[in-house]
């Protein structure tokens, strides 16, 4: 019997789990990604705030496929179409790639919901490039304060009170409270403002009430101006209009408010649902397809929408791989069932929340420690794990004294702030 040819689109949590499982069971796997690296998205906010290097949270996909040399190949490419008739994936480089089964794990980007100016002026942190842009913009704006009028200020608006928004606002607040007085003694701390805007009545809505309350208190204690029950009407070059009619200065707008499928997905000829994501049946096959699966953030499951974090993607990737092996063995597919292993979010140094399906909630230092262990020891591997530990360890232990933030070539054309 000829080897089963599986093609995986996207080298994130879901794609890599599917690729590994299929390669281990003798399939011939081609992994496609637009980048030559996998990004550890849960720590991108650390890159965006200068705590980690981009290389600390990216992992060479060729190093991954090199572990399965006899069965796996990598192609760096963007998928431009799917020829379901001839079962071929068409990419922007090289010949079309034939498949017996296809696993789409393409991830998502920001969804601006058509809010005026948002796509133009707000910045997401779903990719390495976006995180670096936010980082150098944030530090560039603060840097510009040093030669601006002493009455001027910088305002950073984080949109969305989910994990992304809370972690980003928390990290910015820590920088303001601890790093700023050392690195920028000439800037009065109240010249840097951090606003967290959330449309609903609470932060981290999916968490239990005690954890939500703890989070709100911790974020506020760190100096973040939290605006609940507040939407964004419009984003302008240097301000935002809020749903209560007020306008706030906004030199950097970080968007953690919604996700949507990548625009290329529209060219793949599959059924798309809300936000352009791919509609899947309960066995994770793309609607109406018998050999195409979609997993992770790019898929919308028929039941309750799953959280857009690592665990569901990993479990979905594994399920898709197993269903492919089942189909090849002449069996039928089974529905996917998400096993909730709990959720966590970090607010800052020694402050985090952990919610487990059974057992007690965790907050504060124990939660923070659990977050560190899970992210650094379990999820990251090899060089990345140790390098990230070193950098975060220094940030934790030395921040007030060293403030040696990782920064890039700050935009030299930033306007001098005159407000």
Q: Which residue number, 203 or 388, has a Cβ lying nearer to a second copy?
A: 388
Q: Which is nearer to a second copy, 228 or 379 (CB)?
A: 379
Residue from 129, 237, 274, 377 in contact with a second copy (CB under 8 A) = 129
Instruction: State how far the Cα of 237 lies from the Cα of 388, in Å rounded to an integer.
Output: 34
CB neighbours of residue 382 within 10 Å: 9
For the chain, how many residues are written? 419
CA 329 – CA 326 distance, rounded (Å): 5
Is 190 or 409 the residue whose CB approaches a second copy more closely?
Answer: 409
Taking the complex as a whole, the smallest distance from the CB of residue 155 to a second copy amounts, in Å, to: 20
Q: What angle do CA 172, 176, 181 make, to 5 degrees?
A: 155
Q: Is 418 in the site for a second copy (CB under 8 A)?
A: no
Nearer to a second copy, 61 or 240 (CB): 61
List Cα–Cα distances, 4 to 106, 140, 322, 324, in angstroms: 21, 51, 13, 9
Site string for a second copy, 347-386 (x = CB under 8 A): -----------------------------------xxx-x
Contacting a second copy (CB under 8 A), which of 234, 279, 379, 387?
A: 387
The answer for residues whose C-beta is within 8 angstroms of residue 383's C-beta and 6 or more apart is none
Q: Among residues 211, 188, 197, 210, which one has the least CA distance to residue 142?
A: 188
Size of the site for a second copy (CB under 8 A): 56
**Residue 244 to residue 249: CA distance in whole angstroms:** 15
The interface mask with a second copy, positions 151-190, x = CB under 8 A, is -------------------------------xxxxx----
Q: Does 112 bind a second copy (CB under 8 A)?
A: no
Among positions 21-60, residues that touch a second copy (CB under 8 A) are 34-37, 53-56, 58-60
Helix segments in 49-95, DSSP class H: 61-65
Burial of 66 by CB count in 10 Å (0-12 exposed, 13-18 middle, 19+ buried)? Answer: exposed
Question: Catalytic site residues?
Answer: 167
Strands 343-348 and 351-355, sheet pairing: antiparallel
Least distance CB 237 / a second copy (angstroms): 20
Q: Which residues bind a second copy (CB under 8 A)?
A: 34-37, 53-56, 58-60, 62-63, 66, 69, 73-78, 93-95, 128-129, 139, 143-144, 146-147, 182-186, 382-384, 386-387, 390-391, 394, 398, 402-410, 412, 416
């Amino acid at each position: 019997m000829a080897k089963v040819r599986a093609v995986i689109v996207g080298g994130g949590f879901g794609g890599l789990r599917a690729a590994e499982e299929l390669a281990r069971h003798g399939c011939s796997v081609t992994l496609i990604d637009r980048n030559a690296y996998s990004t550890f998205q849960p720590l991108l906010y650390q890159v965006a705030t200068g705590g980690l290097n981009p290389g600390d949270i990216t992992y060479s996909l060729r190093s991954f496929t090199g572990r399965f040399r006899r069965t796996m190949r990598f192609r760096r490419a963007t998928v431009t179409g799917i020829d379901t008739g001839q079962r071929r994936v068409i990419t922007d480089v090289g010949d079309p790639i034939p498949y017996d089964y296809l696993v789409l794990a393409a991830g998502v980007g920001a969804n601006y919901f058509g809010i005026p100016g948002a796509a133009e002026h707000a910045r997401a942190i779903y990719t390495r490039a976006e995180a670096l842009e936010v980082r150098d913009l944030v530090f560039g704006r603060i840097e510009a304060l040093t030669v601006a009028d002493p009455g001027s200020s910088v305002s950073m608006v984080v949109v969305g009170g989910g994990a992304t928004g809370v972690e980003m606002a928390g990290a910015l607040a820590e920088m303001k409270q601890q790093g700023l007085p050392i690195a920028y003694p000439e800037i009065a701390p109240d010249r840097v403002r951090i606003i967290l805007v959330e449309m609903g009545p609470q932060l981290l809505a999916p968490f239990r009430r005690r954890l939500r309350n703890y989070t709100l208190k911790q974020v506020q204690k760190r100096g973040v101006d939290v605006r609940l029950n507040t939407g964004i009407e419009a984003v302008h070059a240097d301000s935002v209009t809020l749903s209560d009619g007020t306008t706030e200065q906004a030199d950097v707008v970080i968007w953690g408010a919604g996700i949507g499928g990548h625009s290329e997905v529209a060219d793949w000829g599959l059924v798309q649902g809300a936000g352009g994501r791919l509609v899947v049946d309960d066995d994770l096959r793309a609607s109406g397809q018998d050999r195409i699966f979609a997993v992770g953030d790019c898929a919308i499951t028929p039941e309750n929408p799953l959280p857009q974090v690592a665990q569901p993607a990993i479990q979905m990737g594994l399920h898709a791989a197993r269903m492919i092996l089942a189909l090849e063995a002449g069996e039928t597919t089974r529905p996917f069932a998400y096993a909730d292993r709990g959720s966590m979010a970090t607010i800052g140094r020694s402050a985090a929340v952990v919610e487990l399906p059974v057992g007690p909630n965790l907050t504060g230092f124990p939660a923070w420690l659990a977050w560190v262990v899970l992210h650094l020891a379990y999820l990251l591997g090899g060089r990345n794990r140790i390098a990230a530990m070193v950098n975060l360890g220094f940030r934790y232990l030395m921040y007030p004294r060293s403030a040696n933030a990782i920064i890039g070539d700050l935009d030299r054309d930033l306007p001098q702030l005159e407000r």
